[in-house]
Amino acid sequence: MSAVIRLGMSHDAMSDGLLELLRRDDPEVGELLGRERERQETTIELIASENHVSPAVMHTMGSWLTNKYAEGYPGARYYGGCAWHDRIEELARQRAKALFGARFANVQPHSGATANTAMFMALMKPGETFASLVLKDGGHLSHGMSINFSGVYHRPVHYPLHADPAHPQFERIDYDAARRVCQEHRPRVVMCGYSAYPRVIDFARLRAIADEVGALLVADVAHIAGLCTHGGCAHPPPLPHAHVVTTTTHKTLRGPRGGLILTNDEELAKKLDKAVFPGVQGGPLMHVIAAKAVAFGEALRPEFVQYQHRVVRNAKALAAGLTAHGYRITTGGTDNHLMLVDLRPKDPELTGADAERWLEAAGIICNKNGIPSDPRPPKLTSGVRLGSPATTTRGMGEAEMGAIAGMIDRVLTSKGDADETGRVRSAVRALCERFPMPGPTTAHPAS
C-alpha cells in the first residue's frame, strides 16, 4: 500500500481560534464561515477546478503579509520595509521554477485570467490575431470570448475538435485543422490548454504549428498544472515546447487562488514582468505569494507525484462508473483529472442545470457544463463537468469513485426526488466522515 499526502482544512487550533475570534468580534461573518466549513467537510467536491489546501497554505494567507504594500519586484520595490517580502517572493519563484523546469517565473498574477491579460499585453499589440480553442468546446473565456478583454482587444480565430462521431478522434483536438487555421490567419500567438478538455495535449505538435507560421506558443495549463510538475509526472510538460506558460495555482496544483507565469526565454521574461507590473497590476498580494511558496514546497515532495497519479486513476474510475450507469463521457473517457458527462443518453430531457441543482441538494458539488456542439444554452447545458482533485486530497480512491458514480445516478434517475436525495445525502455524510479533511500533512494508506 503506497502512502499519499492528504491535505485540507480541519479543526486545527488556528481554524478554531479564527472562528472563536470572529464569533466574538463579528458574529455574522463568524456564523457564515462556520457554516461554510461545515459544508465543505460534509460534501463531496467534484468541481474540477477546486481543491482543498493544507492548513499551512490556508493560514499563511491570513498572516502579517496582508498588511504590506510591495509594488515592484525583489530588490526593486517602490516601498520600504520589504526585506522579508523579497525573500518570500524569491523563494516562491525558485520553487515554481524547480517544479516546472523553467528558467523564469513570475508569481505575482492575482489569477489565471490576470496572468493571461499580462501575457497578451507582453506578446501582442491590440488588434493582432491569436488562435485558440473555442469556449464552447472546452476553451476558456480569457482565450477569446467576445465580451472578455481577450476578444475585445484582440482578434481570436479558433481551431476545432473533431466533429464527426464516426472519427476515431471524435471530440479531440483536430491538429490538422489547427494547422490549416494558423496557415490561413498567421496568428501572433497560438494558445493551448483548456478548461474542459479531458485528453492529453500534444504540446510538441502545437509548437511545430506555431513555428511554421512564425507564432509564439502559449500553454495555459491552469487545470493540469499539477499533473505537469516533476517533468510531467501525470501529463507531458508544456516546457520546453511552449514559449510561455500561464496557470492558476489552485486546482490540481493545490495551492491558494492565484496565477503564475513561466518561460525559458529571458527577453520574454522581461516583457512579462513589465506587463504584470505596472502593466495590469499594482501591489502584489504578498500574503498569497507566501501561500504559493508553501504550496510549491508541498508540491516538490515525492508524495505529490503519487497524489497526481491517484487523481488520474480516480478520474478514470469515476468515468467508468458513470459509463456503466448509462452516461456518455465525451471523447470516450479521460486522461487527466476531469471529464465531461453527456446526460442525454441517460435522459434526453435532463439538463446540466437540473443535475447540478439536484446533486448539490444531495451533497455532491459539481457544475453544469456545455459539451461539444451542445444544442442547449450555457445556462442550461446538456452536461456536467466532474473532477477528482478534491476527493483524492481527502484520501478517497477508486472504490469510492465507483460508489460516488452510483450516488450520482440515484439522484439523477430519481429526478431529484426529495426522499431519494435525502438518502443519498446521508450516504454522502457517512462517506465524508470516513474521509475527513485532515489537519497538518499526514501519511495515509491508499484506498
Annotated catalytic residue 316: no
The secondary structure of residue 275, as a DSSP letter, is I
Q: Is 62 helix (H, G, I), strand (E, B) or coil?
A: coil
The residue type of 66 is: T
* The one catalytic residue among 251, 368, 394, 425: 251
Q: If you search the block for the grid coordinates 502579517, which residue do you land on?
A: 64
CA distance 213 to 243: 14
Nearest by Cα to 314 from 118, 146, 446, 197? 446
Cβ burial of 33 (10 Å; 0-12, 13-18, 19+) is: middle
* The one catalytic residue among 43, 60, 246, 248: 248
CA 224 to chain centre: 7
Annotated catalytic residue 349: no
- Strands (E) in 160-266, as ranges, are 189-192, 216-220, 244-248, 259-263
* The one catalytic residue among 12, 50, 71, 90: 71
Q: If you search the block for the grid coordinates 517565473, which residue do you land on?
A: 105
Q: If you search the block for the grid coordinates 479558433, which residue do you land on?
A: 158
* The one catalytic residue among 220, 298, 342, 354: 220
Q: Say if CB 127 and CB 153 are below 8 A apart.
A: yes
Annotated catalytic residue 391: no
CA distance 382 to 157: 25
Q: If you search the block for the grid coordinates 442550461, which residue do you land on?
A: 380
Annotated catalytic residue 71: yes
* The one catalytic residue among 23, 69, 346, 360: 69
Q: If you search the block for the grid coordinates 442545470, which residue do you land on?
A: 353
SS3 letters across 1-59? CCEEEECCCCCCHHHHHHHHHHHHHCHHHHHHHHHHHHHHHCCEECCCCCCCCCHHHHH
The residue type of 290 is: A
Using CA atoms, how far residue 73 sits from 77, 94, 104, 160, 284, in Å, is 6, 14, 13, 40, 9
Annotated catalytic residue 248: yes
* The one catalytic residue among 172, 257, 271, 310: 257
The secondary structure of residue 327, as a DSSP letter, is P
Which residues are catalytically annotated?
A: 69, 71, 220, 248, 251, 257
